[in-house]
Amino acid sequence: MSSQGRQPVIALALSIVCTLVFAAAGVFGQAKVDAEIPGFASARVAKEVELEKSFKAIPDAAHAEGDLRQLTSAPHVAGTAASKHTAEWLLAQFKSDGFDAQIVTYNAYLPLPRQAELDLVAPQQVQLGTPEPPVPGDTNSSDAQLMPAVSGYSASGDVTAPVIYVNYGTPEDYRQLDSLGIPVKGKLVLARYGRDYRGVKAKLAEERGAVGLILYSDPEDDGFISGDVFPDGPWRPLDGIQRGSILYTQIRPGDPLVANNPDGKRLSPADAKSLPHIPSIPISAKDASVILAQLGRQKVPAGWQGALPLTYHVGPGDAIVRMRVQMDYAERPIYDVIAKLHGTSDDQWVILGNHHDAWVYGAADPGSGTSAMLEVARGLGQLARSGWTPRRTIVICEWDAEEPGLVGSTDWVETNRSELQEKAIAYINTDVGVTGPAFSGSAVPSLKGFLRDATKAVADPQTGESVYGAWKDRAGLASDSLFGPVADEPVRQPPISALGAGSDFSPFLDYAGIPSMDVSFTGDYGVYHSRYDDFYWMQHFGDPGFVYEPALARVIGVMALRLAEADILPLDYGTYASEIARAEDDISSRAAAQPGATAILKPAMDASVDFSDAAMRAADALDAFSYDPAKEGAINRDLVGVEQALLSPPGLSGRPWFKHTIFAPGSDTGYSAEILPGVTEALDHRDLNALQTESTALAEALHRAAARLNDAASQADGSNASPTDLGH
């Protein structure tokens, strides 16, 4: 049926149709039943099941505990000798497991703190910015050699000014201040963590004319309101401090001086658009309360009151604060560890990744993920020593300088983009790998069904049922869509969120168009980016018994094995089409309120129908496909190429590094995903010129993606139908 003349409101109906069709067909027709694994020819299923069984028997708690103890033995901030030492230790582990491993070194523009001080100077003198105190029984917390708590990529400065409390420092918060007639120009702003990325808070403060940014964690958000605080419980104590980068990664992550120009010439700091220009310090809630107690003017608006035992006021009041920040900026070496287990097809890569640098000890973030990844390597290495060779090469990456702003992974992806786009099948990320027993996953839509299937093959250590079963029991049944369920949605499963930003999957998806996932086990985690995120906390609260790190290793390992060994890659573009259609229904409703917007968006809406039609055709063709090794390579290249086809070479308006037309972190959130980001933000800004540009780019990307799906269908067409050949 032709798409000509269809109206944008068809999107909701199309969403329902896509969901029904693909629920019936499974992942390209690969319905899940006992002992069947989507993507595998029937004759190879039993061998894959046995391979996974052998792998799952290898990861264990003792190894995970020992590795985590080593990883947390000292602070290892990016750009220091300790981070290099960590990389060298990881290199030795991968080599001992039989991987072809190396350290890849980059020089990145990184700051280290020389001075970070904050003082209340009126109405009385009080030293603020006090370090986190040691905790009895936790030997790591007693280390007196820790760097001062800083905001990564803060500007240097010495400023003295009144203070304005800006709640979370979101655009809406500043609009409320405007309505109250309270400017922040020339003031220090005090913002609590939450709602958006700290780099967004810094950029908005800078744009509003603030002279500095003070950040703190309010106990309403991750302190005693949630439960017992450390060392009696897992939550942040009043004197805990959340470190973190304020690099404007919502504009572009990675080394801020990289220009991505043909001659490789680096930018000057003055020309780097992702660098902040105001100083910033993170402090404890205890110190923040000293400032809040001195703020005057009216009581804060509804929703701005936190949990500290005082009435919050906006200010300015009597509080005058002096902030002194001196950062040592320099080109510093960072150390990525790249380990390969070569397959018979070395021109196809399954990539796993995690970072190894930390703000302090980094037990949960990232050590728990690193210890899990080491168990994956140990398991795969033992399989290889027993005589197995993967069909596709498995690459395990340990990134440096993630905490400052995804620097190590971004450098590697930018350097190797062409090879990655030619060879990479998928990227599986973990970061804060384990903070409790609740499984959580994020993925591109094409991999959501695959991720759920993998969790059905791994036992949950606490409940004894599958990870999937425990996940479903804890999470309840919900929709994956950012826009919630539709009334007739037939499949309700534990939700998998969209990928936003904040970890190393971002350059793979947003810049290179590699299908990506992020997985973890989550729980009550109040010591994020503090000195208390150490081995003691993990031992007592994050993973007592160290059983969930091996469980995470089993989930990641099963996914790696299935992607490495599959005949036809289990990528589900029906789900992709459904989610795009539902997003476009929302876009259409918003466009109707802006004269001219609906007409501008019509080509993109028609292209979405083209993409959905192609996804259905590919599903039908692959459902009837009788496995033919001669066609495997071409079909898989087309299926993987769909994600790359969704990139727009010029990138999004105002932030060209982000090239994905379907997913990107929001400009004003920095972490959470925005679907159809170009047209969404153009509508937000009521900018019809930008809407025209972004709608055209979206339409072209959807047509390119549809062409890849039609090519895959054409490769499969004409095969003898056999519903059992690919694990149906």
Which residues form the catalytic set? 402
Q: 38 and 727 in contact (C-beta within 8 Å)? A: yes
Secondary structure in 3-state letters for 516-572: EEEEEEECCCCCCCCCCCCHHHHHHHHCCCCCHHHHHHHHHHHHHHHHHHCCCCCCC
- Beta strands, E only, 180-319: 188-192, 212-216, 244-245, 280-283
User: Which H/E stretch holds residue 112?
Assistant: strand 100-122
Whole-angstrom distance, CA of residue 380 vs CA of residue 364: 23
Q: Strand, coil or helix: what is 248? A: coil
Q: 465 and 459 in contact (C-beta within 8 Å)? A: yes
Torsion angle of C-alpha atoms 619, 620, 626, 631, degrees rounded to 10? -60
Q: 350 and 426 in contact (C-beta within 8 Å)? A: yes
Q: How far is CA 35 from the centre of its chain?
A: 32
Length of the chain (residues): 728
Joined tokens for residue 97: 């497991």
Joined tokens for residue 145: 């050699």
Amino acid code (one letter) for 689: N
Q: Strand, coil or helix: what is 164? A: strand
Residues 6 or more apart whose CB falls under 8 angstroms from that of 467 comprise 439, 455, 456, 458, 459, 460, 551, 555
Residues 6 or more apart whose CB falls under 8 angstroms from that of 520 comprise 369, 430, 431, 432, 433, 434, 435, 439, 440, 441, 552
Q: Where are the alpha helices (DSSP H) in 592-659?
A: 597-623, 629-645
Nearest by Cα to 442 from 487, 494, 485, 405: 494
- Count CA within 13 A, CB hemisphere, residue 398: 33
Joined tokens for residue 14: 């199309």
Q: Where are the alpha helices (DSSP H) in 442-544?
A: 448-455, 467-475, 505-506, 535-537
Dihedral pair phi/psi, residue 441, rounded to 5°: -145, 150
User: Which H/E stretch holds residue 22?
Assistant: helix 10-25
Exposure pattern of 535-571 as b/e (b: 16+ CB <10 Å)?
A: bbbbbbbbbeebbbbbbbbbbbbbbbbbbbbbbbbbb
Q: 403 and 245 in contact (C-beta within 8 Å)? A: yes
Whole-angstrom distance, CA of residue 530 vs CA of residue 536: 13
Amino acid code (one letter) for 591: A
